[in-house]
């Protein structure tokens, strides 16, 4: 199948050819035809399969080629809601690339940067608005944006938005959109019951598309666990990075931990940077740009980067800490092995994380190879199934009780234990007169 067979306009086909795209991915081939027909979509596919193009191309076709309605220069006609700033910036970049021959008028709205430049862009007029829910609500409260002419709504990474607590915000935003004659597409890597319940509230007879089983990862990704004691994780991470040299995305659990890892790697001579929610948007944008261009080799991130980082041919992802929620492992690993490329996912696992590893294996329904690294073998090895082996050649500790006096055989004397303490009372005699 080719993009030509999907019925896209020549201007879009030309832009795709310039981007080097020749054939649609499965999610694109399944989603674009019903989207072009104006059907609502409930579409799911694993990370890295081309979901952004699956909604961006038909969106541009509707707005710029069909031109069924006159444009409203100062009122957006399409709204794309997404959970993170990085994902919003990525979608904006893709929309501009696909619509370069159509005169795209698109802008992004997200927090972490000044609101006044965004207000100026909205005043100049925009057709496609790509926004995070929180900052969009700020604009609605200031009445700097009018959503009453929205013809198309896209919810991208809907599961992540629910995880981040955006459901009330999404419902408030939906209240500002027209109810009639609106096309709605919901794209997500996973389908929780809450997603389908949300879809049932505001979608009309949606076409449901599921390309891969829920919570699956690309088959081109190799999973590997290196068991290690918690206090040796940083040394093992440095050992792996120094001996590999490939561009690597490292995931930590906390913002403070990500900063400490990045500083440690820099002191060791590696080019590294950290990206997380406490960084300003300029810092996050610069770190991601440096990573994509190769100016830095290691990007240390929290789960904020698990969605929205689109890096071509990223060879390796390392989990310095396992995520607390097994589904987040899927999204972390989705940064590698994209578009059919091979990828390597390494997790450094201490015995304190055995339960998290079991949850991940249960979610993926596949084995994960456990490979000890010479010189970093843990004091408590992991079995292949992720459970801890008992420590060998060590007798179990017995907590001996001190025998009570009078027991006679070294065992506690129940009578002595229960015997109440008597209070000594002196027998007072009356003094003689």
Exposure on the CB side of residue 66, measured as CA atoms within 13 A = 15
Q: What is the pTM of this model?
A: 0.67
Q: For the purposes of burial, counting CB atoms within 10 Å of the CB of 46, is it exposed (0-12), middle (13-18) or buried (19 or more)?
A: buried
What pLDDT, on the 0 to 100 scale, is given for residue 33? 94
Question: In angstroms, rounded to a whole number, what is the distance separating the alpha carbons of residues 275 and 263?
Answer: 12
d(Cα 95, Cα 130) in Å, to the nearest integer?
Answer: 10
In 10 A of CB 380, how many CB atoms?
A: 15
- Residue 412 CA to residue 140 CA, distance in Å, equals 74
Q: For CATH 3.40.50.300, list the domain ranges present in the chain.
A: 4-210, 221-370
**What span, in angstroms and rounded, lies between the C-alpha atoms of 126 and 110?**
15
pLDDT along the chain (433 residues), means of 10: 87 90 89 93 78 93 68 79 88 92 90 90 93 94 93 88 83 90 86 76 87 65 92 94 87 91 92 86 84 89 69 84 86 72 88 90 86 90 56 45 40 42 53 47
SS3 130: strand
Phi/psi for 62 (5° steps) reads -65, -50
Rounded-to-integer distance, Cα 299 and Cα 291, Å:
7
Residue with tokens 């370069």: 100
Report the Cα 172 to chain-centroid distance in Å: 24
Burial class (CB in 10 A: 0-12, 13-18, 19+), 300: buried
CA angle 30, 35, 41 (to 5 degrees): 80
Which of these CATH numbers, 3.40.50.300, 3.30.565.10, 3.10.450.50, 3.40.640.10, describes 221-370? Answer: 3.40.50.300
The reported pLDDT for the residue numbered 309 is: 64
Q: Which two tokens stand for residue 74?
A: 């100062």
Residues 6+ apart with CB under 8 A from 105: 125, 126, 127, 128
pLDDT score recorded for residue 36: 93
Instruction: Please give the Cα distance from 162 to 166 (Å, whole number).
Output: 5
Cβ contact 363:329 at 8 Å: yes
| Confidence at residue 415, expressed as pLDDT on a 0 to 100 scale | 41
- Could you tell me where the beta strands, DSSP code E, fall in 369-417? 369-370
What's the token pair of residue 27? 């999610």
Predicted pLDDT of residue 312: 65
- How many Cβ atoms sit within 10 Å of the Cβ of residue 163? 20
Please tell me whether residue 343 adopts helix, strand or coil conformation: strand
CATH number of 4-210: 3.40.50.300
């Amino acid at each position: 199948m080719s993009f030509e067979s999907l019925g896209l306009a020549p201007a879009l086909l030309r832009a795709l050819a310039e981007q080097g795209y020749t054939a649609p991915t499965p999610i694109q081939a399944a989603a674009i035809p019903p989207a072009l027909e104006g059907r609502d979509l409930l579409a799911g596919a694993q990370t890295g399969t081309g979901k952004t193009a699956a909604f961006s191309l038909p969106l541009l076709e509707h707005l710029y080629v069909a031109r069924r309605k006159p444009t409203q220069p100062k009122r957006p006609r399409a709204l794309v809601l997404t959970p993170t700033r990085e994902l919003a910036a990525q979608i904006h970049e893709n929309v501009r690339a696909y619509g370069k021959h159509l005169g795209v008028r698109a802008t992004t709205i997200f927090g972490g940067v000044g609101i006044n430049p965004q207000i100026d862009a909205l005043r100049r007029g925009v057709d496609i608005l790509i926004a995070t829910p929180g900052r969009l609500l700020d604009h609605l409260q200031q009445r700097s944006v009018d959503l009453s002419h929205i013809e198309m709504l896209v919810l991208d990474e809907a599961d992540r938005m629910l995880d981040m607590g955006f459901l009330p915000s999404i419902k408030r935003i939906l209240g500002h959109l027209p109810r009639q004659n609106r096309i709605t597409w919901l794209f997500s890597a996973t389908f929780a019951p809450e997603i389908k319940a949300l879809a049932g509230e505001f979608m009309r007879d949606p076409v449901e598309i599921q390309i891969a089983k829920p919570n699956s990862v690309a088959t081109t990704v190799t999973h590997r666990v290196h068991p290690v004691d918690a206090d040796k994780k940083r040394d093992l991470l440095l050992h792996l990075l120094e001996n590999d040299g490939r561009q690597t995305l490292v995931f930590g659990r906390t913002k403070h931990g990500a900063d400490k890892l990045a500083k440690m790697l820099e002191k060791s001579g590696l080019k590294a940077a950290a990206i997380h929610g406490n960084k300003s948007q300029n810092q996050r944008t610069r770190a991601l740009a440096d990573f994509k261009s190769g100016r830095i080799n290691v990007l240390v991130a929290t789960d904020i980067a698990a969605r929205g980082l689109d890096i071509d041919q990223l060879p390796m992802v390392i989990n310095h800490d396992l995520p607390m929620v097994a589904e987040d492992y899927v999204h972390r690993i989705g940064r590698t092995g994209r578009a059919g490329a091979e990828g390597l996912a390494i997790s450094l696992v201490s015995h304190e994380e055995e339960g998290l590893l079991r949850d991940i294996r249960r979610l993926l329904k596949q084995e994960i190879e456990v490979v000890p690294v010479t010189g970093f073998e843990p004091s408590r090895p992991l079995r292949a199934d992720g459970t801890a082996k008992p420590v060998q050649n060590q007798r179990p500790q017995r907590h001996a009780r001190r025998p009570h006096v009078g027991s006679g055989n070294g065992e506690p004397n129940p009578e002595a234990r229960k015997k109440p303490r008597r209070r000594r009372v002196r027998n007072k005699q009356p003094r003689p007169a």
